[in-house]
Amino acid sequence: MIEREAPGGQRGMSARIENYLGFPMGLSGGDLARRAVVQAQRFGVEILSPQEAVGIRTEGPYRIIKLADGNEISCHALMIATGVQWRRLEAPGIDRCRGRASTMGGWRHGKQCLAKAKSSTWWAERIRRAKQQ
């Protein structure tokens, strides 16, 4: 597994996860990430972190992954999970929406659209902020 930052992704950075199956008392994102790493290693997964894949090519039956440091890794099977990267949506009036919901924008049928949704990350952030006050 090649991980650019730290295993666990977005969930791994959560201060508290209250709704994860099998943990009725909740746990931190860091705890969940550590448990995932232990389980993955138990099944023989090698974790390269921090490391970044910057290219992929095929040579016969092999997939060759080029790393940011110039090294290459070959494999027969490759699964890509790109994860998520935060960015702010820039749109007229968006400041009125910030802090109220996760906001996503895009194009549909040639028209710009804006969608608001309360995600688990939004709720986790609200709980974290409430506890700080």
69: left (phi over 0), alpha (psi -120 to 50) or beta: alpha
Q: Write the CA distances from 132 to 112, 124, 129, integer angstroms.
A: 37, 13, 5
Instruction: Return the pLDDT at 93.
Output: 73
In the chain, residues under CATH classification 3.50.50.60 are 1-85
pLDDT tens for the chain, residues 1 to 133 = 888 888 887 777 788 888 888 888 989 989 999 999 999 999 999 888 889 999 999 999 999 999 999 999 999 988 888 776 666 767 777 676 666 544 454 545 555 555 555 455 666 666 666 777 6
- Give me the pLDDT at residue 21, please: 84
Which amino acid type is present at position 124? A
The reported pLDDT for the residue numbered 127 is 67
pLDDT value for 80: 84
Distance separating the N- and C-terminal Cα atoms of the chain? 38
Question: Would you say domain 1-85 falls under CATH 3.50.50.60?
Answer: yes
